[in-house]
Every structure is written in structure tokens, then in C-alpha cells.
Amino acid sequence: MRYATILSLAILAACSTPSTVAPIAIPLQYKTMATIAEFPTLPACAAVSKVEVVDARDEKALGKRYVEGKTAANAVAPVTAASDVAQWVQTGIEAALKRSGVTIGNASAPVLKITIESINTGENVLHRSGYEGRIQLSAELGASCWKGSAEGAAENYGYAGSVENYQETLNHALDRAVIRLLSTPEVKKTICSCGG
């Protein structure tokens, strides 16, 4: 009987919802999460001389972790980046361009300028955690060939405070934003005719 009581208390403690969360810093490492079929195929003549990325976010935190239903100050904590956000986005953009058949490094081709408008993550901490990520990018091809913007979102589920789950969620959101940018008819129409 005593053993059953102790075992029950241990199970309840293991399954209980935490009352606080700690801040976390995520090292951003790009890895393609979208399938090859999700990336558009651009014309064989598609090229850019280089990719330039600017982080224009007013709020540099990536988002927040929170305990659902708790209102105490320590039930919400910031999520920050432990690495260069602009470099992470540039790596993802360049990988997406290559997957879409775009040549990078052609001196006579236009520059692709990317601006990070926002990144927002939310981790809902319960027994396990639900992760949401959203990225807003704007882009400009050449001096005046094309301008546009796109948003990408992703969701994930896993252990609380998992760096891997944050990375997967943010990488998938980035892939989706870039796929939307590259899939616009205007990009397909101007990427070959826009000079550097």
C-alpha cells in the first residue's frame, strides 16, 4: 500500500505542469526542413550576384516561453538568439536559392536584398511543449526589378526548452517564407531579365 502511494505521488509530480519557466538562448543553425518538392523550380537563367540580409526587427528577442494559465511574472520568459540571426537567414536563403536552381555569384546578376521584419516564437510549456514560429521577410531584387514580402509559419511539439524543437520550428518557418517569396510570378518573370 505504501509503495502504491509513493508511486502515485511520483507519477503526479512527473506529470504536473510547471509553475515557472526560465529564459533560453537558442543557437540558430540552418537545416532545410521543407521537402524538395515544396521549393519552386526557377528558370535555368536565374541568378543573383549575392544575397544581403539585414535584421530590421525592433524587438531582437525571438519570442517567449510561458506556462499556460499562469499569471505570475516568472511564468513568462524571453527566448533569445545565441547566434547571428542575419547569418542564419542568409544561410537559409542561399540554400533555398540553390534548391530552386538559382546560380549565386554571377557578377552581372542582381543583388537579392532580404530584410528580416519580424520573428516571433511561442513555447507553451505544459507536460510537454507546443512550439510556434513565425517569420516575416521582405525582399528586393536588383535596384528596381521586384519587391515583395512573405511570411512563413510552423508548429512543433516536444520537450520543454528543447533547442532542437526551436531550431526545427524556426527553420521550417524560414523555409516557408522563402518558398513563398520565390514562388511569386513576379520573381519567376524578373529573375532572368534583371541586371546587376
- pLDDT tens for 38-85 read 999 999 999 999 999 999 999 999 999 999 877 777 789 999 999 999
Q: What's the pLDDT at 1? A: 57
Q: What's the pLDDT at 74? A: 75
Cα(4)–Cα(162) distance, rounded to whole angstroms? 32
Hey, what's the torsion of the CAs at 84, 85, 87, 92, to 10 degrees?
A: 140
Terminal alpha carbon distance of the chain: 79
Q: What would the pLDDT profile of 63-73 be if each residue is shown by its tens digit?
A: 999 998 777 77
Q: Say how many C-beta atoms besides its own lie within 10 A of residue 27's C-beta.
A: 11
Average pLDDT, the chain: 90
Q: What would the pLDDT profile of 139-173 be if each residue is shown by its tens digit?
A: 999 988 999 999 999 999 999 889 999 999 999 99
Cα(42)–Cα(35) distance, rounded to whole angstroms? 16
Q: Which domains does the chain have, with CATH numbers?
A: 19-190 (3.40.50)
- What is the DSSP-derived secondary structure letter of residue 56? -
